[in-house]
Structure formats: C-alpha cells, structure tokens
C-alpha cells in the first residue's frame, strides 16, 4: 500500500489538518485513501457504531477522504480523564482508566499488534494511507516504547514528511533539532518538509528555505499560509465551528488551499515511490 506519514516538530503544528488536506486531494484524484493514527490522546471522539469510537480528527479525515470511518483508522484511543489518567481502548475494547506509565508497561506489545493488524486490514481495502504522527518523533525519553511516530512508519514501510509551524518562531531550529535527534535510519525516511501557519510575504523567508534545504539535504515541499477560518473542527480544540458551509465545501476549500502552496507533484512522487533509500 502506498502512503506517507505526517510527522511534526511538536504538538499543535497542524499535522491533523495537513493529513486532512492530503486525504481530500488524493480522494479527488480517484485514489482509495484511508487516514490512520495509531494512538490518539484526546477528549474528543466520535462514535462510529457498534459501541466503538475513534478520535474526532480521524473521523474528519475519513470524511475528507470520502470513505466510511473505521476502528482500524485509530485503533488505540486514550480518552483524557482527571488526575493525569486516561481511559484506554484498543480496537474498541475498553480496559479502564490508568496512568501513562501503567499503560506503557502493560499494553506495549498489544498496541504494536493492534497497529500491525489495523494497517493490514486497511491495506485490503485501500490503495493509500495517510498516517498522522503524534507530538514529536524526537522525544527520545519515550522512544523505547514509542507507538505513534517512526515505529509506525517502519511498520507501514512508508516515507515521512516533517511539518513545522512558523507562526510562533523557531521553525528552523525545530526542524534541524528534530532531524538531528533521529537515528540515521529513521532520518532517511523524511523525504520532505512543510512549513505551516505562515504569515506575511514569502519572499522574506526564501533565505530560510534555502538554509533548511542546504543544511538538511531535504527539500521544503510547501509553505502553507495561516488560515484561521477553514471551518474544520481541529483535533483538540474545544471550540464550536459556526457559520460554516457544507462539509464537502469545507474540505474542498481547505484541500485547495494546501495544494496551491505545495509542490504537489513532488509529494505525489514521495507517496508513489515509497520509502526506498
């Protein structure tokens, strides 16, 4: 199965929104595409029938991909509760509330198995998969039992694109730092970089793009201007969307916005070619 993983330099960089756009762009090209996020830590879920629920973000991505939502698109759901606890669900099976350390110790092997099973099931029905990472792949203190970033890219055997936001500053340092902290074999999977949430005149940032590409050896495949009124509910934002057009119009408008500012032909090549060398 073809695909790509959307990594981020941190949380809240726009990974879910970029993945949503990719789902719609590929669906518009008549490709059967599925979203995937191995594990989501969130308070916002959507029921999909049979007593099962997935993250709101993956449900929205499935709508953007013009396909029914499935438990295999988000096999592990950690719903935030009080006192640093979360309710653990794996493939729709509930295991009660627990703290993060307890979950990592008890369920690592089961989580990996659920991810492998889910990717296999999706590969039976879809031609491509858009995988969303979580947080940063450079959180070295968590890498021994990591099931949300590069471990997933390795299981699916797909290349990755790294997303960095520029609206709060520090984008270049966060890109370089993230890549430097990845082991060489994982760094090879990163085939492109997206600068997200850009404000202002792009010509003022061309020197930054040139530096990123020359220093890292990885092309910047897009600089996405900030758009606050896209009308799509974001992953962990408790804010109702008002005065929004139909969902189809929302996804179409957002996908067009992202595609306009991407080297989409290069992204297509990344997805088509796969990981490779």
Q: What confidence tens digit (pLDDT) does each residue in 198-252 have?
A: 998 999 999 999 999 999 999 999 999 998 777 787 655 554 444 444 555 899 9
Judged on CB neighbours under 10 Å (0-12, 13-18, 19+), 224 is buried
User: What pTM value is reported for the model?
Assistant: 0.92
Domain map (residue ranges) of the chain: 2-37+113-273
Mean pLDDT of 132-150: 91
Residue 212 and residue 193 in contact, taking contact as beta carbons nearer than 8 Å: yes
What class has domain 2-37+113-273? alpha beta
Please tell me the predicted confidence (pLDDT) of residue 186.
Answer: 95
**Residue indicated by tokens 């008890």:** 106
Helix axes 247-260, 15-28, angle to 10 degrees: 100
pLDDT computed for residue 244 by the predictor:
47
Among 36-50, 84-98, 228-242, the least confident range: 228-242
Among 233, 213, 221, which residue's Cα sits nearest to residue 193?
221
pLDDT of residue 155: 96
- What is the structure's pLDDT at 235? 58
pLDDT at 240: 46
What is the 3-state secondary structure of the chain?
CEEEEEEECCCCCCHHHHHHHHHHHHHHCCCCEEEECCEEEECCEEEEECCEEEEHHHHHHHHHCCCCCCHHHCCEEEEECCCCEEEEEECCEEEEEEEHHHHHHHHHHHHHHHHHHHHHHHHCCCCEEEEECCCCCCCHHHHHHCCCCHHHHHHHCCCEEEEEECCCCCHHHHHHHHHHHCCHHHHCCEEEEEEEEECCCHHHHHHHHHHHHHHHCCCEEEEEECCCCCCCCCCCCCCCCCCCCCHHHHHHHHHHHHHHCECHHHHHHHHHHCCCC
User: Dihedral sign, CA of 169, 134, 250, 232?
Assistant: negative
């Amino acid at each position: 199965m073809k695909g790509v993983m959307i990594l981020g330099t941190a949380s809240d960089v726009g990974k879910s929104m970029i993945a949503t756009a990719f789902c719609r762009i590929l669906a518009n090209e008549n490709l059967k595409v599925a979203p995937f996020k191995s594990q989501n830590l969130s308070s916002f879920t959507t029921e999909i029938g049979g007593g099962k629920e997935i993250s709101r973000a993956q449900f929205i991505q499935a709508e953007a991909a013009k396909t029914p939502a499935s438990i295999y698109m988000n096999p592990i759901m950690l719903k935030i509760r009080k006192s640093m606890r979360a309710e653990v669900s794996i493939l729709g099976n509930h295991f009660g509330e627990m703290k993060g350390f307890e979950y990592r110790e008890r369920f690592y092997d089961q989580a990996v198995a659920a991810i492998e099973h889910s990717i296999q099931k999706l590969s039976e029905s879809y031609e491509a998969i858009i995988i969303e990472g979580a947080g940063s792949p450079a959180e070295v203190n968590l890498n021994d039992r990591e099931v949300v970033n590069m471990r997933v890219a390795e299981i699916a055997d797909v290349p990755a694109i790294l997303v960095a936001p520029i609206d709060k500053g520090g984008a270049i340092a966060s890109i370089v730092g993230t890549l430097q902290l990845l082991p060489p074999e994982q760094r090879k999977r990163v085939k492109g970089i997206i600068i997200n949430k850009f404000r202002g005149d792009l010509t003022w940032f061309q020197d930054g793009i040139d530096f990123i590409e020359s220093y890292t050896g990885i092309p910047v495949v897009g600089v996405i201007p900030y758009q606050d009124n896209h009308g799509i509910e974001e992953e962990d934002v408790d804010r109702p969307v008002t005065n929004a057009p139909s969902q189809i119009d929302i996804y179409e408008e957002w996908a067009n916005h992202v595609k306009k500012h991407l080297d989409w032909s290069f992204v297509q090549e990344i997805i088509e070619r796969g990981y490779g060398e």
